[in-house]
Homo-oligomer: A and B are copies of this chain.
Amino acid sequence: MQLTSETLENAIEQLAKLPGMGRKTAQRMAMHLLKQSDDRVNQLAQSLIDLKTKIKYCSVCFTVTDTDPCAVCTNAKRKTGTICVVEDPKDVYVIEKMNEFRGRYHVLGGVISPMENVGPNDIRIKELIARINDEDEGVEELILALNPDAEGEATSFYINKMVKPFGVRVTRIAHGIPVGSELEFIDEATLNRAFAGRVTF
């Protein structure tokens, strides 16, 4: 086999390293970009460089932001005394898209996982405690919105235990049957949770 372009090969290799990308898809993308205008390709490349140069982490809630503190933390209308605790900045994004939650966030930047050597001090729990202690924040409720897996559960339990002395209300988003799904396709663990979390009709 003879390679006519190392440059093309290199672009394919770089693209193929992205999550969920196979070599064939990377190849298709590189070939597609070859046919695009210089402007289009430069815009894409610049937008990726910007990711690393322009994006900061909010010093209050630790989500990704262009300005520090972030737009949610500086929005006076959202000082509701409610903090939603999430694992990752992408969870903030998902919850904001719902357009329902009016409080603020706290991004842990991970979950407690003994298997991966992540302890309570490796994620932003002490920063959360500091916010609860901060009278300006006026925290009244913590909504835990971590993933319902072993690590998420352990982290939720840990936070609940740590926060108890401060008299803040700690809640957890409901786990149950997704809207629009059918009972017969729901796994037992979810169904179990749905029964345990049943509410008065």
The count of residues in chain A whose C-beta lies closer than 8 Å to any C-beta of chain B is 62
Q: State A88–B70 Cα separation when bound (angstroms).
A: 47
Asked if residues A28 and B34 are in contact (CB atoms below 8 Å), the reply is no
Tell me, rounded to whole Å, the shortest Cβ–Cβ distance linking A47 to chain B: 4
For residue A170, CB closer than 8 A to chain B, the reply is no
Tell me, rounded to whole Å, the shortest Cβ–Cβ distance linking A122 to chain B: 15
Q: What are the residues of chain B within 8 A of A45 when measuring CB–CB? A: 45-46, 48-49
Q: State A185–B75 Cα separation when bound (angstroms).
A: 60
Q: Which of B5, B15, B49, B55 touches A5 (beta carbons < 8 Å)?
A: B55
Q: State A8–B66 Cα separation when bound (angstroms).
A: 9
For residue A93, CB closer than 8 A to chain B, the reply is yes
Asked if residues A10 and B50 are in contact (CB atoms below 8 Å), the reply is yes
Q: What are the residues of chain B within 8 A of A55 when measuring CB–CB? A: 5, 7-8, 34
Asked if residues A33 and B48 are in contact (CB atoms below 8 Å), the reply is yes
For residue A96, CB closer than 8 A to chain B, the reply is yes
Which residues of chain A from 10 to 59 have a CB within 8 Å of any chain B CB?
10-11, 13-15, 17-20, 25, 27-34, 36, 38, 40-55, 58
- 13 inter-chain pairs at a CB distance below 8 angstroms, sorted by A residue, are A2-B78, A4-B66, A4-B71, A4-B72, A4-B92, A7-B55, A15-B44, A18-B33, A20-B29, A33-B48, A33-B52, A45-B45, A45-B46
